[in-house]
Structure 1
Amino acid sequence: MQVAILGCGYVGIALGVQLTDAGHDVVGVRRSDAGLDAIEAAGFDAVRADLTDSASLSAVPDADWMVYAASAGGRGADAARTAYVDGLRTVVETLGARPSPPDRLVYTSSTGIYGDHGGDWVDESTVPEPATDRQRTLLEAEEIALEETAARGIDGTVVRFGGLYGPDRYRMDRYLDGPVTEGYLNSIHRDDAAGVVAHLLTTDRARGEVVLAVDDDPVSKWAFADWLAEQCGVSPPAKQTVAERAATEGEVSRRVRASKRCANDRLHELGYDLRYPSVRGGFRPAIEAFRAD
């Protein structure tokens, strides 16, 4: 199949490698020189385009499948709207109007749209309760991915990723230095994030669906921090409740206060086998590197 990965960054490059290895023709789309160089270094074709500019998208070749994996990074709500809503709508309208439009779109979203559930379980049937402008923007983009695609004869799929980690994103100091705020980690390794998207495309599953992509172990942040410290041979970090953090910092962000456990039953029903079912296994390379220093 011909595949276009739009916003081909941390997950997109890993996805491109997996799909290329499986025999598909893949193009990664970025607009920066550094992004294009990273795609080419990974071994598949790179195309420069601005996802919010219809004319710029003419550089993107026709594709059977497109994956929208653009990120706004840590920037504010306006940047998030540009990346997730404006960019996705422009891509759907532009590529969907071609004589040979894509058959499928996979849009990568976030479990952050659920908001706070007091530590209770959530799944695909749980009604999202976005608490921030960024989370509301993500939910609006999901509607584009499912509804505006359908109007153009494209089958959309939304994949809600948990917290991404993996090479260059272990952030060990967050857990070892402390203080660690209470709550749960709903995580997925980068290679599994890419693997889920590749699996849904190549097995032709989850058309028109929302799928949670998280590992099997929504572990307590405190328990994980203590385990990680033990594995690294250092003292456990200090812990704090949300109330304690608020007492020292003032207003605590809604992202920090959000607590939930994300269930991945549907992911297993769809036949995906996690490479890293738990962050404990996924963090092993980072632990070994820490102990070797």
Structure 2
Amino acid sequence: MNVAILGCGYVGLELGRQLVESGHDVVGVRRSYDGVQAVESAGLDGVRADATDEESLSAIPDVDTLVYAVSAGGRDSDAARTAYVDGLRTSLSHFSGRDAPPKRIVYTSSTGVYGDRDGAWVDESTPLEPKTERQEILADAERIVRERGMDWTIARFAGLYGPDRYRLERYLEGSVSERYLNLIHRDDAAGAVRFLLDADVGRNEIVLVCDDEPIWKPTLVEWLADQCGVEQPSRGEATSERGRSSKRCSNRKLHQLGYRFRYPTYREGYQDAISAYRKAENV
């Protein structure tokens, strides 16, 4: 299989590594020279192109599968619309117009599309009811993918963590708001997409990519503090709508499809970070 990963960054690099290990040919696409160097340093073929610039996309070779994993590069709505709507629409228009278009697109979406559900459970069948501009943008992007006319898979990622993104200090030193968190280790986020492609499952379906255990944030922070041997952080109120959003995401469908998690919960996923923290602090 020939795969192009647009936005070959945090998850994309790991996905590329896993796909190469599975015997696939992978092209990682970034818009900066430094980004392309990071792709090539990971052992992948790198191409410099911008998802919003159709002419630059011509540098990408024909592929069987297109993975769109472009990030917004900022939290404001304009950045989100550029990455998730404008770039996606431009990229799909370009690739669908080729003589040999991709047979499948995988779009990496976000569980943020659900917004705040007051701690209720959500799954792939839960209707979307966007209440903010950013949520509407996320929903618009998913509609663009479904309406393009090629086979698609939408992978809705929970909160990503892993190497370089454990954020232990943020949890251990800040105040803790009361809400549910849904997490996915980077290696499992990439692993789930690799599995969907390798097993050729999830076509024209939405798949929630989250681990086995939505966790009450104070419980997570208390556990991390205990494991790291530090005092418990204080409780506080979230200051942003995103920080107040609370829901519990079900990964039942991903399990039913056959994916096996490397890090089923935060307990396994944070062990490397905890060990490094304790070593650095001589705990």
Tell me if both proteins adopt one fold, taking TM over 0.5 as the criterion: yes
1:231 aligns with 2:218: no
User: Quick check: 1:131–1:254 contact (8 Å CA) kept in 2?
Assistant: no
Q: Which of 252, 259, 262 does residue 265 from structure 1 map onto?
A: 252
| 1:89, distance to aligned residue in structure 2 (A) | 0.8
| 1:115, distance to aligned residue in structure 2 (A) | 1.0
Letter in 1 for 2:157: F
User: Quick check: 1:187–1:214 contact (8 Å CA) kept in 2?
Assistant: yes
Aligned residue number for residue 254 of structure 1: 241
Question: What TM-score do you get using the length of structure 2 for normalisation?
Answer: 0.97
Aligned CA-pair RMSD: 1.0
Aligned residue number for residue 58 of structure 2: 58
1:200 aligns with 2:187: no
Q: What are the within-5 Å matches in structure 2 for residues 131-150 of structure 1?
A: 131-148=131-148, 150=149
Letter in 2 for 1:78: D
User: Quick check: 1:121–1:260 contact (8 Å CA) kept in 2?
Assistant: yes
Q: Which of 177, 181, 185 does residue 181 from structure 2 map onto?
A: 185
**After the TM superposition, which segments of 4 or more aligned residues of structure 1 sit over 6 Å from their partners?**
none
| 1:42, distance to aligned residue in structure 2 (A) | 0.4
Aligned length: 280
Unaligned runs of 5+ in 1: 246-251
Letter in 2 for 1:172: L
| 1:134, distance to aligned residue in structure 2 (A) | 1.8
| 1:162, distance to aligned residue in structure 2 (A) | 0.2
Aligned residue number for residue 170 of structure 2: 174
Show CA shifts across 1:57-85 (max 9, x none). 10000000010000013341111111111
| 1:34, distance to aligned residue in structure 2 (A) | 1.5
Aligned residue number for residue 153 of structure 2: 157
Letter in 1 for 2:50: D
| 1:174, distance to aligned residue in structure 2 (A) | 1.8
Aligned residue number for residue 287 of structure 1: 274
1:213 aligns with 2:209: yes
**C-alpha distance in structure 1 between counterparts of 2:113 and 2:29, whole Å:** 26
Aligned residue number for residue 106 of structure 2: 106
**C-alpha distance in structure 2 between counterparts of 1:11 and 1:216, whole Å:** 19
**C-alpha distance in structure 2 between counterparts of 1:284 and 1:37, whole Å:** 30
| 1:254, distance to aligned residue in structure 2 (A) | 1.8
Show CA shifts across 1:22-76 (max 9, x none). 1101000001112111100100100001111111110000000010000013341
Name the SS of the counterpart of 2:153 in structure 1.
Answer: strand
Aligned residue number for residue 248 of structure 1: none
Aligned residue number for residue 8 of structure 1: 8
**C-alpha distance in structure 1 between counterparts of 2:111 and 2:73, whole Å:** 16
Name the SS of the counterpart of 1:180 in structure 2.
Answer: coil
Moved more, 174-183 or 159-168: 174-183
**C-alpha distance in structure 1 between counterparts of 2:103 and 2:257, whole Å:** 20
Aligned residue number for residue 127 of structure 2: 127
**C-alpha distance in structure 1 between counterparts of 2:166 and 2:143, whole Å:** 31
Name the SS of the counterpart of 1:29 in structure 2.
Answer: strand
Question: What TM-score do you get using the length of structure 1 for normalisation?
Answer: 0.94
Unaligned runs of 5+ in 2: none
**C-alpha distance in structure 1 between counterparts of 2:244 and 2:131, whole Å:** 10
**C-alpha distance in structure 1 between counterparts of 2:91 and 2:74, whole Å:** 22
**C-alpha distance in structure 2 between counterparts of 1:38 and 1:12, whole Å:** 11
**C-alpha distance in structure 2 between counterparts of 1:75 and 1:163, whole Å:** 14
Name the SS of the counterpart of 2:274 in structure 1.
Answer: helix
